[in-house]
Structure 1
Amino acid sequence: MKCDVLVVGGGPAGCLAAAGMAHELQVKVLEEHSRIGEPVQCAGLVTPRVVEMASASDAILNRIDGAYVHFPGGRVIELQGNEVKAVVVDRGEFDRRCALMAEKAGAEVLTGSKAISVERTAEGLRARTAEGDVECRALLAADGYRSGVARSLGFGPARDLVRGLEVDLRIRAEDQRKVRVFLGNDIAPGFFAWAIPCGDLTRVGLCVSRDHGPPQDFLPKLLEAQGWSGVERVRTYSGAIPLGHIPRTFADRLLVAGDAAGMAKPISGGGLFTGMAAGKFAAETFREAFASGDLSAKSLSKYEERWKAVYGKELRSSYRVRKVFVRMCDRDLDKAGARLDNVKAKAVLATGDIDFPTALAPGLLKACPSLLTIAPLLIFRLLWR
């Protein structure tokens, strides 16, 4: 098989890239799993802009306009926004909508087809699959955090990794409009835990820094603490999130996007917005490169310039914040909670955008200057944008 651009990975990043260039180029998408969107490895909490990017409003399960933040010592801060801040989506259905966009644009989506290896040829690249070779003039690696494609072509892994575990519990949350976030090193060291209302089900999960052991060691503690140990588990999900993007996301005839490039947001772990935006930028860059007949690294470097212009600063700032956060003990977290538990600070927090969380820093410090007494380095990192 031959094509202009081979997209390895049939997730949202890869499929939006395919959708953005298949009307001009011959595009094939390789997805290793037999069904798009399976297995699910995401909590499915995204901003409305992400749903709009995929035209996937049919995948929305719930709308969120606030949160309860639980601190280690027992304090709970309630945040109430004045608009929908996030939506809960059926992640499998969301992914399938993205794949449908790619197919409607003219891309061929091949499920159950894994790129075993990729090598360069005189005229482009060749991907080996169990069904045969696929030759292409250019390639987009969007095959997840393990990304055998990117690794085989000389790209290193992301700087950090957290591992996650989530269960759908058959229990209806009392407040369907608010998520719960749990902080504490006994519950989710190096990250946080969550409970997301989805009608008659509640998605409960957490992520843990890899140096603290598997998430399976911590989820039972959360379930027991919240009185959910005996609740029926409808479905269990697991996965890993790469944090800290790779130094370079382009090469001759090659671009890297999404988790393969470590583009997940270091504070929340979400990667749909960044990955999907990268997919669109990849499509734009490939279209221009083919039109000019120049698929060199220099030509394709525009891709990295584009995604960095939108969220590069956010990823850098968020990663700095994360490095400080993982060193905070429960006592520090409780002190921060005490300082933030006031009308002005909560009003600022309620305006947050989970795609650009560090934008809150200046307003939060103005509303709550006493935060400087707890973690001056953290504040410095937040403001050093």
Structure 2
Amino acid sequence: MYSVKIIVIGAGPIGSLLSLHLTEKNYEVVVLEEHKAPGLPRHCAGVISYETLRLYGFNTSSSTVLNKLNGAYIVFPGGKILHVYREGHVAYVVDRAKFDEKLATYSEEKGTVFFYSTEAKKLHFLGSKIVVETNRENFSCDKVFVCEGLSRRITRQLTEVRQKPLIGLNVDVEACFSFPKDHVYVFFSKKISDRLFGWIIPLGNNLVRIGTASTAYTDKYLEALINKACSAGILDKVKILEKTGGLINVDGPLKHFVFLKDRAVLVGDSAGQTKPTTGGGLYYGGLGAIIAAKSPTGFIYEKKWWQKCGKDIKSMLFLRRVLDSLDDRDLEKIIKRVNLEEISALLSSKGMFDTQSKTIIELVKYFSKKPLAVLHVLTTLAKSLLF
């Protein structure tokens, strides 16, 4: 049996970042990864903020960056478009396979040992040690950090998980597109996603990433998005090159992250540390990795993460509940009762990519001046709560 001080399950970006920080603190760390290499399979849309890029130790000139973004066209069901723009780059499109690979390499260079094609199957106590059973051999350790993502095989052995993740699909295509390469398109419609939205992201040259996420039948939603984009003249001559998919959590974090008397700790997607508005997990999961590495106990890590992230997460959960309650007709009625230019100015000046509570508060203040729109939202929310 292989014995080590700390085991990290998962060589995704959260697991690699966590192992890097632990190894830098002179802990003996082993990472177990079920796939043959980091970054596999690729399933993330790859859009992150400057703050997130820096959180992982990358700069804007990194070879992982495919494109730089400073604007978005947000399309509503009735066809109205909200344009959000800010001088300077707001977000970056990264090559997630290369991003993950570089993080794992950085950690390995510091002394972390990686075992690939090694799937963690079960945890149990053996005396004072935690044993991680895998498809290859067993590993014993003093502490295990579970960064397995939304597969949650180990997580479900530790706690009840009621959340049902969305199924996300991306297709990378070669296409002609009629909008600036530093902008993305976002589509809000229940015909394109029943709980999230659709996206079109330029990757550089003539390459575009098109994607959506839903509770089921994601292929049909993706087809509807491509057809809509082509019929609207946004895309033309579309040639599909690659299709990828994965799971997305928009239901917030689990109540607790620490189990087995502080010997098993959840970090990242496995803990639900993702944005309820978009499903993105690199920022809040990355914060989780750094806080966990610095904290003397898992309980302190859990408390500190909630202290730092709780306000934003709760605000985004509120907005998620509102968005889930609105169908296309509701959303169209609300959009007709507001001034999109005013909202554009608000989001362009005060919108935040990751820490969204301040943005949501500004939106609430704005809508409070639009009583008919507020009444419609409250009525719809009440119906969703009752039925």
Give the structure 2 partner of residue 294 of structure 1. none
Give the structure 2 partner of residue 34 of structure 1. 36
Residues 6-53 of structure 1, C-alpha deviations (whole Å, 9 max, x = no match): 000001111111011113110000111101101101000000111112
Q: 1:379 to 1:107 in 2, by over 3 A?
A: same
Q: 1:357 to 1:158 in 2, by over 3 A?
A: farther
Give the structure 2 partner of residue 343 of structure 1. 341
Q: Conserved in 1, the CA contact under 8 Å of 2:175 and 2:236? A: no
Give the structure 1 partner of residue 209 of structure 2. 203
- Please give the secondary structure, in 1, of the residue aligned with 2:4: strand
Give the structure 2 partner of residue 18 of structure 1. 19
TM-score by length of 1: 0.89
Q: 1:263 to 1:190 in 2, by over 3 A?
A: same
Q: Conserved in 2, the CA contact under 8 Å of 1:223 and 1:229? A: no
Q: Conserved in 2, the CA contact under 8 Å of 1:268 and 1:354? A: no
Amino acid at match of 2:352: D
Give the structure 1 partner of residue 264 of structure 2. 254
- Please give the secondary structure, in 1, of the residue aligned with 2:93: strand
- Please give the secondary structure, in 2, of the residue aligned with 1:145: helix
Please identify, of 90-99 and 224-233, the stretch whose mean Cα deviation from structure 2 is larger: 224-233
Give the structure 2 partner of residue 117 of structure 1. 122
Q: How does 1:373-384 map to 2 (within 5 A)?
A: 373-376=375-378
- Please give the secondary structure, in 2, of the residue aligned with 1:217: helix
Q: 1:160 to 1:314 in 2, by over 3 A?
A: farther
Counterpart check, 1:168 vs 2:167: no
Q: 1:314 to 1:365 in 2, by over 3 A?
A: closer
Give the structure 2 partner of residue 51 of structure 1. 53
Residues 270-324 of structure 1, C-alpha deviations (whole Å, 9 max, x = no match): 0011111111111112xx3xxxxxxxxxx42001111112212222221222122
Counterpart check, 1:268 vs 2:272: no
Question: Whole-Å Cα distance in 1 between the matches of residues 121 and 340 of structure 2?
Answer: 55
- Please give the secondary structure, in 2, of the residue aligned with 1:222: helix
Residues 339-367 of structure 1, C-alpha deviations (whole Å, 9 max, x = no match): 45443321111231221223213323444
Residues 211-232 of structure 1, C-alpha deviations (whole Å, 9 max, x = no match): xx22012111111111158611
Give the structure 2 partner of residue 156 of structure 1. 160
Give the structure 2 partner of residue 143 of structure 1. 148
Question: Whole-Å Cα distance in 1 between the matches of residues 277 and 115 of structure 2?
Answer: 34
Q: Percent identity?
A: 27
Amino acid at match of 1:100: T
Question: Whole-Å Cα distance in 1 between the matches of residues 381 and 361 of structure 2?
Answer: 9
Task: Could you list the structure 1 runs, at least 4 aligned residues long, displaced by more than 4 angstroms after superposition.
Answer: 377-380
What is the Cα-based RMSD across aligned positions, in Å?
1.9
Question: Whole-Å Cα distance in 1 between the matches of residues 156 and 51 of structure 2?
Answer: 31
Question: Whole-Å Cα distance in 1 between the matches of residues 36 and 187 of structure 2?
Answer: 35
TM-score by length of 2: 0.89
Q: 1:339 to 1:48 in 2, by over 3 A?
A: farther
Please identify, of 73-82 and 24-33, the stretch whose mean Cα deviation from structure 2 is larger: 73-82
Give the structure 2 partner of residue 360 of structure 1. 359
Q: How does 1:75-86 map to 2 (within 5 A)?
A: 75-86=80-91
Q: 1:344 to 1:352 in 2, by over 3 A?
A: same
Q: What is the CA-CA distance between 1:378 and the residue it aligns to?
A: 8.8
Question: Whole-Å Cα distance in 1 between the matches of residues 333 and 105 of structure 2?
Answer: 48
Give the structure 2 partner of residue 320 of structure 1. 318
Which of the residues 69, 75, 96 maps onto 1:70?
75
Q: Conserved in 2, the CA contact under 8 Å of 1:158 and 1:244? A: no
Give the structure 1 partner of residue 385 of structure 2. none
Aligned residues: 364
Give the structure 1 partner of residue 217 of structure 2. 214
Residues 224-246 of structure 1, C-alpha deviations (whole Å, 9 max, x = no match): 11115861111111111123211
Q: Structure 1: which 5+ runs fail to align?
A: 289-298, 381-385
Q: Conserved in 1, the CA contact under 8 Å of 2:75 and 2:188? A: yes
